[in-house]
Amino acid sequence: MHAVSLLPLISVWGILGIILGVVAVAITVLYFVGRKMQKKQAVAEEQIQNAKQTVSILVIDKKMLKPAESGLPEAALAQIPWYAKRAKMPIVKAKIGPQIMSLMADQKVFEVIPVKKECKVALSGIYIAELKSVRGGKIPDPPKKKTLFQKIFKKDPNAKAAKNGKGTEKAKNK
């Protein structure tokens, strides 16, 4: 009895055609899903712009937290989509008048909002959409992001000194 092999029946070009077909279907699906999500984001952004109010807050703390750990109200947690429940979100704990609240912030605002300072922000519900001003100074510039090249080749000088047995007191104590 001879076992019939399928290898000669399916050519390399046939396999490549199947792979290209699957990739084309995946790209088409992603295109239409992306357009649908862009429309949803535009509607949400418009709602945020319509509901904005300028409020003075005292920023107590800011952290990247999962929604379940953030201390946000249950109504807000119920509206978070399933795919975002495990992701970390920018959360700002702030005092608004006599009340201390946890607020979600836009990523750009989260990077520049100072801790332990009073700020005027554009607030839409529990979402900080924009930083208007900071009491006692100007709005700080966002921190510069390091490029991949800088991360790889810019080493800590204390680490090299600690290897050699020289360096600062902190490096020696470790």
Q: Report the C-alpha gap between 93 and 149 in whole angstroms.
A: 35
SS in 3 state form for 61-77? Answer: EEEEECHHHCCCCHHHH
| Averaged pLDDT, 82-102 | 91
* AA identity, residue 36: K
Q: How many domains does the chain have?
A: 2
87 with 123, same domain?
yes
Does residue 60 lie in a domain region?
A: yes
Say whether both 66 and 128 belong to one domain: yes
Q: What is the largest CA-CA distance in the chain?
A: 90
State residue 23's pLDDT score. Answer: 97
| pLDDT tens per residue across span 16-60 | 899 999 999 999 999 999 999 999 999 988 998 898 999 999 999
Full domain range(s) for residue 44 = 9-50
What's the pLDDT score for residue 80? Answer: 86
- 123: which residues sit within 8 A by CB, 6+ positions away? 52, 53, 54, 55, 57, 103, 129
Same domain membership, residue 123 and residue 77: yes
pLDDT, position 147: 84
Residue 141, phi then psi, degrees to nearest 5: -75, 150
Determine the pLDDT at residue 152.
Answer: 83
Spatial separation of the C-alpha atoms in residues 100 and 102, rounded to whole Å: 7
What are the distances in angstroms from CA 145 to CA 57, 111, 142, 149? 27, 11, 9, 11
pLDDT in tens, 59-71: 999 999 998 888 8
Percent of the chain with pLDDT over 70: 83
Q: How far apart are CA 172 and CA 157, in angstroms?
A: 13
Distance from C-alpha of 79 to C-alpha of 89, rounded to nearest angstrom: 14
Asked if 59 and 93 sit in the same domain, the reply is: yes
